[in-house]
Amino acid sequence: MLRINEITRGRMGNKILHYNTLAQLGASKNQDVSCAVWEDQRFFADTIKHRSPENPETKLSWKEIVNNPTMSFRKDIDYEIDEYAIHNVFWRVTKQDPRNFLKIADQYKKKLRTDVITVGVHFRGTDILGGDGNGGREIHTPEYYKNAIDFVVDNYPETHFYLCTDDMSFISFRETVDYLQRENLSFSIGSPDKYDDFSTLAECDILISSSSTFVVCAGFLGKKNKKIIHSKEWINKNVEHTLWHPTDPVDVREWQLSFDEFWVELYRSGGNEFYELWSVV
């Protein structure tokens, strides 16, 4: 059996990715699965239930998942999936549409405008200036958002922009609002409720994305065939493997590089049938 005994730390996006790893491996390897109760589980319908251990347990690390795609599992062992097996293993494990395993519950689904192209715009807040953002490494500038808006409007003149963030004081958010007003573009501002924002982003036709796993997950859930834009500056930091913290030990550095590879592979391949990179700007 494959198991999550405790969902990964971090916020909603990381938890969804950890859960996706479990569900995808269980389906592709024809294994029974068990998942502990987790925050945000109520946002989805028909999630994997917790089952008591049946056998001795061993840890299945993110490294084993990445390096051994043909792995097999013994019936007399329960395998606990590493808490760090999140977006660093996404391209390796995602064989089926994640929507098969992560169905947004009816009470949270959003219906957006149908008379225009809907564009979700996500901003990470000031957490990217602290530990979560590695001292500002993940900042997306106001210029990125303005250029992305111009790119969308050049391709689709009839649009409505949905701006979603948990920090409306952040400069990129404020300047984007000012820009949309100056350009007389149709937009609305999201909700302080993360589920409302996630549902909005998940149902858009286009996403102007940030580095957050929150909006990455909205990209592969909800409405299918979304066109997704990412920051070229952000992608380049990953392609060039810019150090998170120059003093980190080798084992931590290897772990960090594994997360870079999500973005590197996205850039090189354009994604897959479940997550399409439309452009970098």
Give CA–CA dist 16/111, Å, rounded. Answer: 22
Question: Whole-model pTM?
Answer: 0.95
Q: What is the pLDDT of residues 89-122, one digit of tens each?
A: 999 999 999 999 999 999 999 999 999 999 999 9
Quickly state the pLDDT bin for 245 (edges 50, 70, 90): confident
Q: 62-76, 152-166, 169-183, 235-249: lowest mean pLDDT where?
A: 235-249
Please give the domain boundaries of the chain with CATH numbers for all domains. 2-105 (no CATH), 109-280 (3.40.50)
Quickly count: other Cβ atoms within 10 Å of residue 88's Cβ: 23
pLDDT, residue 16, reads 98
Entry field: residues in the chain:
281
Quickly state the pLDDT bin for 130 (edges 50, 70, 90): low
pLDDT, residue 157, reads 95
Quickly state the pLDDT bin for 280 (edges 50, 70, 90): very high
Mean pLDDT of 182-207: 97
Give CA–CA dist 68/91, Å, rounded. Answer: 13
Is the confidence at residue 250, as pLDDT, over 90? Answer: no
